[in-house]
Amino acid sequence: MLRYQSVLAPGVHIAFTSTAEGNLAFHVPDDRDAVLLRRRDLERGLGLGEQRFSYMDQIHSATVLDVDGPPQESAIPTGDALVSADAAHPLAVMVADCVPVVLVGTSTQGPVTAVAHAGRRGLLDGILTATFNRMRAAGADGVEAWIGPAICGSCYEVPAAMAAEAEALRPGIGSTTSQGTAGLDLPRAAASELRALGVAVTESGACTLEDDTYYSYRRDPRTGRLAGLVWQATGRDVHAEAGARA
C-alpha cells in the first residue's frame, strides 16, 4: 500500500491499495461477502473504526458528486468523482489501469477532500477540472493531488485513430508505446492538467500493467480493483500505526 499525508491539511491521509489488500470491487468476479470483509478490514486497519469509505458506481463520465453523509448500500452514487466539502466523509475511487486521483484542499472552514476516476473518456471530458471546480466552489483555496498507480504511456496501446482524436482534444496526451505503436499517457495528461490549474501534484510513478502487485484490466479482464483513498484522522494519529502495516 502506498501511503501519503497532506501537507496543506496534515490530519488528512491518502492511500492507494495493492493486491495485498485484495479486490475491493463488487462488479468483478468475486464473492460479495469476501469483498465486504476486505473493505471493513481495510477501514479498521487504517483507524477509521466504524466509519466507512464512500464508493461510486463509475461510468467513465465527467460527473462530480457531493458526499454529505455516510454511504448507503441501497443507494450507491453514479459518477466518477466524489467531493467532501468538510473532509468528514472517507472517500474511495477504484481502478485497474485508469488513473486514480486523490485531491485535498483547504478552506477557511477546514479541509476539503475529493477522489476522481480519470480514464481516457473522463480525462478527455474534463473530470479533473470539474472536480477541482467543485472543490473551489466548496471554498478550497490551495489544492494538492496524488496520482496513483495506473497504466503508463509506454504500455497503453490504442488504435492510431483514437490516439489522434485524443491528442486533438487534449494536446500532450499521446505517446509511443515500448512496441513503437500509438498510445496514450493518461497519468502524464492528468498531472499536466492539474498543474495548469495550480495544483501541487505528487505522482506515484507505478504502472499497473508492468507491476503485478497492482490490478490491471489489460493484463487480465477478470481482475479485481485497487482503491485510491482519502480520510481525515480523528481522535488519535493513526498514520504511523497504519504505515507499519503497509
Q: Which fold has domain 2-138+210-241?
A: CNF1/YfiH-like putative cysteine hydrolases (3.60.140)
> Residue ranges per domain, the chain?
2-138+210-241
pLDDT tens sequence across 149-171: 999 999 999 999 999 999 999 99
Rg (CA), the chain: 17
Walk along the chain (246 residues) and give the pLDDT tens digit of each residue.
999 999 999 999 999 999 999 999 999 999 999 999 999 999 999 999 889 999 999 999 999 999 999 898 778 999 999 999 999 999 999 999 999 999 999 999 999 999 999 999 999 999 999 999 999 999 999 999 999 999 999 999 999 999 999 999 999 999 999 999 999 999 999 999 999 999 999 999 999 999 999 999 999 999 999 999 999 987 544 443 444 333
By the 10 Å C-beta count (0-12 exposed, 13-18 middle, 19+ buried), 179 is classed as exposed
Nearest to 129 by CA among 193, 199, 203: 193
Q: What's the rounded Cα separation, in Å, for the pair 155 and 3?
A: 25
pLDDT tens sequence across 204-234: 999 999 999 999 999 999 999 999 999 998 7
pTM for the model stands at: 0.92
